[in-house]
A and B are shown apart, each in its own frame.
Chain A
Amino acid sequence: MQSPDQLLSLKNVRKTFPGVKALNGVSLDLKRGEVHALVGENGAGKSTLMKILVGVHTMDEGEIFINGQPVQIRSVHHARQLGISIIYQELSLIPQLTVAQNIFLNEEPQRIAGVLDERQTIRRTLSLLDEYQIGLNPNTPVSQLRIAERQLTEIIKAVSLGTNILVMDEPTSSLTFDEAENLFRIVNVLRDRGVGIIYISHRMDEIERLANRISILRDGQLVGTFQAGEISQQRVVSLMVGRELELADSKHRASSVKRDTTPALEVRGLSRKGILHDIALSIYPGEILGMAGLMGSGRSEIARALIGIDSIDKGEIRIYGEPAHIHNPAEALKMGIAMVPEDRHRFGLVMSHSVEDNLVLPLLPYKTRMGVLSRLRLREVANTSIKQMNIVPPNPAQLVKLLSGGNQQKVVLGKWLAGSPRILILDEPTMGVDVGAKAQIHDLIRSLANDGLAVLMISSDMPELIAMSHRIIVLCNGTICGEFLQNDVTQEKIMAQIMQYSRSAGIN
Chain B
Amino acid sequence: MNPEPKIQTSTHKTASGGTAVRLVLVQTRMRQWIIYLALIALMIGFAFASPQFLTLSNLLNIARQTAVVCIVGFAMTFVLTAGEIDLSIGAVTALSSVAASYILRDGGNWVVASLAGLGAGLAFGLFNGLLTTKARIPSFLVTLGTMGIARGIALTVTGTLTIVFINDSFTEFWGAGDIGPIPVLVIWMVFVFAITYFIFKHTIIGRYVAATGGNLMAARFSGVNTDLIKLLALAMSGLASGLAGLLITARLYSGRPYVGEGLELDVIAAVILGGTSLFGGRGTIVGTLVGAFIIGVLNNGLILIGIGTNVQMIIKGVIIIAAVLFAEKMT
Contacts and interface: CB of A to CB of B under 8 A. Distances in A.
Interface of A: 18-21, 24, 218-221, 223, 242, 244, 307, 309, 328-330, 332-333, 339, 341, 346-353, 357, 361-362, 364-365, 368, 371-373, 392-393, 395, 397-399, 402-407, 415, 433-436, 438
Contacts of B282: 352
B202 A364 contact: no
A357 B210 contact: yes
Contacts of B134: none
B202 A373 contact: yes
Interface stretch (B89-97, B220-228, B239-247): B220-228
B129 to A, nearest CB: 19
B218 interface: yes
Nearest to B203: A371
Nearest to B199: A371
B215 A351 contact: yes
Contacts of A392: 14
Contacts of B51: none
B323 to A, nearest CB: 19
Contacts, number: 134
A307 B220 CA distance: 11
Contacts of B6: 20-21, 219-220, 435
A404 B220 contact: no
Contact of B214 (A18, A309, A350, A415): A350
Given A221-B4, A328-B223, A433-B7, A357 B207 contact: yes
A341 B221 CA distance: 8
A329 B222 contact: yes
12 contacts: A20-B6, A219-B3, A330-B224, A352-B282, A361-B219, A361-B222, A365-B223, A371-B203, A393-B21, A399-B24, A406-B10, A438-B7
A328 B225 contact: yes
B161 interface: no
Contacts of B222: 329, 361-362, 415
B203 A402 contact: no
A399 B14 contact: no
Contact of B221 (A348, A373, A407): A348
B17 to A, nearest CB: 5
Given A20-B8, A361-B224, A435-B6, 19 more contacts: A219-B4, A309-B220, A328-B220, A329-B221, A329-B222, A329-B223, A341-B221, A346-B217, A357-B211, A365-B204, A368-B204, A373-B207, A392-B14, A393-B14, A393-B17, A402-B20, A404-B17, A434-B9, A434-B10
B14 A407 contact: yes
Nearest to A403: B17
Contacts of B219: 350, 361
A433 to B, nearest CB: 7
